[in-house]
Amino acid sequence: MSPGKSGIHGFGIFAKQPHRAGDMVIEYIGEIVRPSVADRRERFMYNSLVGAGTYMFRIDDERVIDATRAGSIAHLINHSCEPNCYSRVINANGDDHIIIFAKRDVKQWEELTYDYRFFSIDEHLACCCGFPRCRGVVNDIVAEGQVAKLHVPHKDLIHWKG
Ligand SMILES: C[S@@+](CC[C@H](N)C(=O)[O-])C[C@H]1O[C@@H](n2cnc3c(N)ncnc32)[C@H](O)[C@@H]1O
């Protein structure tokens, strides 16, 4: 794998060798922190770095991998709504690992991508993947829709019957 200028955003990661569907491609490595720590770092430290993206991978509600200052080049993999890779949490000997697998056969020098399923009901990140089925945002709009249904606007409570 090799970093290079991406057609999607900034720098991305390109396959030096072809991969077969299902191959393990790379592990996403970094420092494991609580979501509150990741939020603070993003807001007060990383947002001020010129041209920096977000190098955070949310494992679950309690753990985020911060790959900004430590980790593998996997942190440069861009998002696509029609990706050639996907991520999975794999438990080995009691430790969780984020592994990026090939979703289909990947040709040499293709840019590697996965679906970030970025979750935020406050912030929408416009997607530049350029694929025909691009949903327009990097966000996971299905999950957001489910959470949004649980949020009843205050004005609706006046006539709310439960
Ligand atoms: C982990 S970085 C990926 C590497 C990034 N391209 C760079 O040069 O630093 C994640 C950031 O890249 C940008 N990004 C990745 N995929 C994107 C996409 N499909 N559309 C728009 N921005 C994207 C967003 O700013 C996101 O926060």
Q: What is the ipTM of this complex?
A: 0.99
Q: Specify which residues 53 forms β-bridges with.
A: none
Residue with tokens 């990383």: 46
Please state the rounded mean pLDDT for residues 45-55: 65
Residue 53: the pLDDT is: 58
Whether residue 135 has its Cβ less than 6 Å from ligand 1: no
pLDDT band at 159 (very low <50, low <70, confident <90, very high): low
- Quick: pLDDT tens for 111-156: 999 999 887 777 888 999 999 999 999 988 887 777 667 665 666 6
Given this model, what pLDDT does residue 121 score?
Answer: 73
Of 39, 44, 94, 47, nearest to 64 (Cα)?
Answer: 39
- Residue % of the chain over a pLDDT of 70: 86
Instruction: Look up the CATH superfamily of 2-29+72-159.
Output: SET domain (2.170.270.10)
Please indicate whether residue 8, judged by its CB atom, sits closer than 6 Å to ligand 1.
yes
Residue 25: what pLDDT? Answer: 97
Q: How high is the pLDDT of residue 46?
A: 72
Question: What percentage of the chain reaches a pLDDT higher than 90?
Answer: 59
- Asked if pLDDT for residue 161 goes beyond 60, the answer is no
Tell me the residue type at 14. Answer: F
Residue of the CA atom closest to atom 1 of ligand 1: 55
Ligand 1 midpoint to CA 98 (Å): 18
Question: 130 φ, ψ to 5°?
Answer: 75, 5
Task: Supply the pLDDT for residue 44.
Answer: 78
Residue labelled with tokens 């077969």: 20
Among the residue ranges 12-21, 43-52, 78-87, 94-103, the one predicted with the least confidence is 43-52
